Amino acid sequence: MRKLLFLVVLAACQVAGAQVTITVPDEPIEANRHYLLKVAGLEAADLPNTQLVAEPKTASAVGVSGWAGEQFIWFSGTEKGRHFVAVIVVRAGKPVVASATVEVGGSTPNPDPPPPPPPSKLVAVVIIREQGEQTPKQAAAMLDLGWRKYLIGLKVRPRVTDPDVLDQGDNVPQDLATALTAAAKTEGPDICFVFADSRVVCEPLPDSAAALLDLVKQYGGGE
């Protein structure tokens, strides 16, 4: 039933002339091993509005960015058979879909984990919380100058914002979009770290200045 629903969604969303494609291996891949599938036509501005779908449940797909701004999918399947993967991008309110079929062959006795993403430069740090949502300790930590001075030394501008912030045109600010999208999946308050490869990591906002500085140093690569 789930696979049928997946195919119906693809048929309903498919847009003629879509310029997003997924490159898959010509031969069956090994089960329990991760393979890099290249996604062409996906721009950095698409990432906050992009969703990955993999079927059946034994398949997994994780999006990663390359050094040159190229987009990829780490794909794996745990069982032999035909698997489906799709990228759904919303552009100007309209869905654009790229889909592909991956054939999974025999299994391997020692599955390997997906490799970690390459190191990337920290480009933004955003604290996201509802006004008044933070505890008194969190509020005091936010006002401390230590973590701010550290980020300024990295030439990274610290930001504090509400999750529902809008610009003068009633749109989500473009420079906050990736952080806001990531924080929407967690319970706030959050501190989100945005990297040059479009990766975003959100952590619970610490309740002390020392813990906040340690967390910022952890993701900033400093001591």
Buried b (16+ CB within 10 A) or exposed e, 60-96: bbebbbeeeeebbbbbbbeeeeebbbbbbbebeeebb
CA distance 62 to 81: 20
Average pLDDT, the chain: 80
More confident residue, 115 or 72: 72
Question: How do 122-128 and 158-161 pair as beta strands?
Answer: parallel
Question: How do 29-31 and 94-107 pair as beta strands?
Answer: parallel
- pLDDT-derived band at 5, boundaries 50, 70, 90: very low
Q: Which two tokens stand for residue 17?
A: 């002339």
Buried b (16+ CB within 10 A) or exposed e, 1-33: eeeeebeeebeebeeeebebebebeeeebbbbb
Residue type, 53: V
Residue type, 87: V
Structural element, H or E, at residue 200: strand 200-204
Evaluate if pTM is beyond 0.95: no
pLDDT in tens, 134-183: 889 999 999 999 999 999 998 998 888 888 888 788 888 888 888 888 88
- Which residues share a beta bridge with 36? 74
- All structural domains of the chain: 2-107 (2.60.40.10), 122-220 (3.40.30.10)
pLDDT in tens, 60-111: 777 766 545 678 888 888 888 888 888 888 888 788 888 888 888 865 555 5
Strands (E) located in 46-109: 50-55, 59-65, 71-77, 81-91, 94-107
* Bond from prior residue into 163 cis (ω within 30 degrees of 0): no
